[in-house]
Each structure stands twice: as C-alpha cells, then as structure tokens.
Structure 1
Amino acid sequence: DWYDVIPLSDNHVAFVIGDVQGHNAGAATLMGQMRTALRAYAVEGHPPDVVVAHANRLLVDMETDLFATCCYVDVDMEEGLAWYVRAGHIPPVLRHPDGTVEITESEGGPPLGVLRQADFPMASLRLAPGALLALTTDGLVESADLDVEDGLDQLAADLSAADPAHLGVVADTLLGGANRDDDVALLLVRYDGMAVRPRRENWTVWRVPQAVGQARRYTRRVLRAWGIRDEADAVLLVVSELVTNALVHTDGRVRLDLTLLHDRLRVAVADNSPRTPIKPASIGWQATGGRGVLLVEAMASAWGTVPVSGGKYVWAEIPIG
C-alpha cells in the first residue's frame, strides 16, 4: 500500500492512495513503479482521468500477473474544488466542517492492469474551509469479520467524532482498530482554504506585427494596477521573450497569463505546440537567435514548461520585493 502528495501548478495538489495485489518483493517493486508513474504523469499536467489511464496502460504493458487499485484526487487549493478518480478502490470519505460525514459516491473504473482500454470517470467534490478528506486502503475497513460497507460506516462515525484540528490524533484513532492481517495506508487532508487568493489577469495575443508591443503595454498596465514598479523591467523582458518565442515557433492561439501571489509574480504563455523550449548549450556572438531562454532564466527565480491539452504553457516566476 502507498500514498503520495504531489504539488502541481496553479495552486493544485494531487493526493494519491493505492494498493498493489500481494505482499511479496514483486508487489513492493510494482508499488514503487506505480507511485513513480502516477507522480510523473501528474506533474506533466494531465487531468486525473488521463493520469490514471496512462498508469493503467503502463501496468498492462508490463505483462505482470499483479494488479493495483488507487484513488487519485486533484484539489484546487484556491477554489476548494476537487476532482477524483477511482480505479477499483474504495471511495474517499469527506467530513464537512459541521461534523457531518459523507461516503462519496461515484462511478469507478477497473483496477489498474486489468483492461488496456479502460475508462476512469471523474467525479467532483466541493471542499469548504475546515473540511477533512480521508483516503485509505481496504485493510482499514475490511477483514474476514468486517464487511467493507460496515467498515466504511465505522470510519465515517470515527471521523464525525474526531477533532479535525489535530490530524495526528485523528489518524491514531482511525488506525487503532485496523486489521493487522493486511497492509494499511491512510492519508488525511484538512482543507483550510487560502489565506491570500492569487490575483490573475490574462490576455489573448493576436498574431499581428505589433503583438509583442501590445503584450508589453498590457503587462505594464497590470503591473501599475498591482503596484509593481521596481521589478517591472524584468517582468516586461520575460513577457517579451516568452511571447516572441510562442509567436515564432508555434501556430494557433497564444495566451498570456499573469498571476501574483504573495511575493511571486508568475508569467505564463500558453500555445498549441507540445514542443518544449530548449536551453542552448552555447551561443556564438554572431548568432541571431537562441538567447530568449537564457534571458528568461537570468531574470526569473524559476521557469519551466507544462503540457496542457495538446499544447503547453511556459512559465517563469519573478520575486517581488
């Protein structure tokens, strides 16, 4: 059994719980491979159903006799909205701020590694500040003497009576009656909302000769409205390079996104090409291109690229004093 917590872009976090068939070295090895695969597909920016579908095809292609179950939950920390997928796994249990508990209901897909072309339907959850989400494996709620439905009802009752302010105590309480004949994994998530919500603005970049200048003027207006002055030149240079790169090397729509959270401003440019910008190893003094990525790297504290719906967005973060 395993769990994982995966920070994603745009204030999203993925929470995963899983269970591989068996208790031997082969099962342990497969558990590590599945955990790594799910993390890799999640960081690529795919939605939950695609992440789980990719992991399923990978396990099928391994041609092992073992299968795995999992539950994958993607939480938007800003909005309090979660989308989740079940692959032969027991459902999440949600404790609302008023103490009522919901054993979530959704259509699930088959375990990973059973069918190559399997569907994994997504379901949504609304998390209010103070909500507590419990993900676990069947070792906690099922045994020879305990039916899984009765085990989930008992888990819900224990969650309802628990104090969500102290997750360690909640975990100890839930694990106190665990089935010691089977592995158990438990992941508790308390959603507190965000103390400061990000400020966001976006601009569609038209493919006209003055497009980069328009993007710079739009960015300058946003920075002025947000009270950012000292770092404006660095931000404008990053915007120029990212927008120029998208217009020169891709086709279709280009979008500029600006996000301010605490002391970080993120510039992101989305386009329709999956091709990732490559940092040149060296540039001769006579070269007429290739310096854009180096300039972005010099101006930003971090930068990267994320695949999105057949395209990508390239992002860079600039510290704000």
Structure 2
Amino acid sequence: MAGEATQPTQQLLRRVGCADLTAVPEVRHALRAMLGTWGGPGATDVAELLASELVTNALIHTDHGAVVTATVVPDRLRVEVRDFTAGFGHPCVPHADDGTHGRGLVLVQALADSWGVENHGVGKVVWFELDGGAA
C-alpha cells in the first residue's frame, strides 16, 4: 500500500567451530537480541529452542562446524544451519529412558510452522520457519 513503511529484513550470520558447544548459547542470545519483540507471545522462546537444537545437532553429528543464518521479516523467521557433512538422519521417536538425546528434530517437527533439509553439494542445510503472528 502507498505510504506504508516497509521494515527492513534483519539477518544474523554466525560461523560455529567444530564441537564448540559454547556456540549454542551464543547463537541463542544473538537470536534473542535480533528478534527483540518480534512475534506473538512465546515466539522468541520457540525460535531460541529450535535454533539451539539445530546448532547442537550440527556440532555433535558433524566434524566441520556449521554456519547459522537467521533471517527475520515482520511476519516470518527462517533459521538455517548449514553443515559440511553429507547425509541426514530422519527424526525418530526417542526412547523414554534415553535421557535428553534424540529429541531435537522431533521438537523442530512439532513446533516449527515449516522445516526441511536441503542438500548442498558438500553438506546440507537444515532449516525451520516460524510465523511471527501466531505463537
């Protein structure tokens, strides 16, 4: 519409080193700072949780680190975690006595508005999107 100001796209880009699990809270805090008051109640919490799960998976299951990109527009957030290892394990229902392992992709599948995996020559991108209007 004429006269409406469009809000610029915001983007977060972080490279995380191989097995550097200290990067997980750093990415989470940077994402929270970027999002500010974006989305409905709880949207930022869900975004942080899902980003943490994808970054943790990339760091635990690959040997070459990862690149995290989060892009937010007024009504949508997309987080991508690119690693440099081929192959992808599909989400499975974790065993009740398995502690905290095996739940990351199940959470992404349950809480994201959409998600997926894209192969990129060397490695893959695991991504999710959240609708900022509904949380």
TM-score, normalized by length of structure 1? 0.36
CA contact (8 A) 2:38 2:74 kept: no
CA offset at residue 196 of structure 1?
A: 7.2
In the alignment, which of 29, 32, 38 is matched to residue 228 of structure 1? Answer: 38
Q: For the residues of structure 2 that align with 1:254 and 1:294, how far apart are their CA atoms?
A: 20
Q: For the residues of structure 1 that align with 2:27 and 2:109, how far apart are their CA atoms?
A: 20
CA offset at residue 250 of structure 1?
A: 0.6
**Equivalent position of 1:315 in the other structure:** 127
Q: Does 1:212 align with 2:24?
A: yes
Q: For the residues of structure 2 that align with 1:253 and 1:291, how far apart are their CA atoms?
A: 21
**Equivalent position of 2:91 in the other structure:** 279
State the structure with bigger RCO (CA 8 A, min sep 6), 1 or 2.
2
SS state at 1:317 partner:
strand
CA offset at residue 213 of structure 1?
A: 1.1
Q: For the residues of structure 2 that align with 1:265 and 1:314, how far apart are their CA atoms?
A: 14
CA offset at residue 279 of structure 1?
A: 1.3
In the alignment, which of 45, 52, 62 is matched to residue 240 of structure 1? Answer: 52
Q: For the residues of structure 2 that align with 1:197 and 1:248, how far apart are their CA atoms?
A: 34
Structure 1 segments of 4+ aligned residues over 6 angstroms from their partners: none
Q: For the residues of structure 2 that align with 1:213 and 1:305, how far apart are their CA atoms?
A: 23
Give unmatched runs, 5+ long, in structure 2: 1-5
Letter in 1 for 2:124: K
1:218/1:196 CA distance change after superposition, 3 Å: closer
CA offset at residue 197 of structure 1?
A: 6.1
Give unmatched runs, 5+ long, in structure 1: 1-194
More displaced stretch, 286-295 vs 198-207: 198-207
Identity %: 34
Aligned residues: 124
CA offset at residue 309 of structure 1?
A: 3.1
CA contact (8 A) 1:277 1:293 kept: no
Letter in 2 for 1:259: T
Q: For the residues of structure 1 that align with 2:12 and 2:108, how far apart are their CA atoms?
A: 20
Query: Mapping of 1:29-48 within 5 angstroms?
Result: none
In the alignment, which of 180, 202, 206 is matched to residue 13 of structure 2? Answer: 202
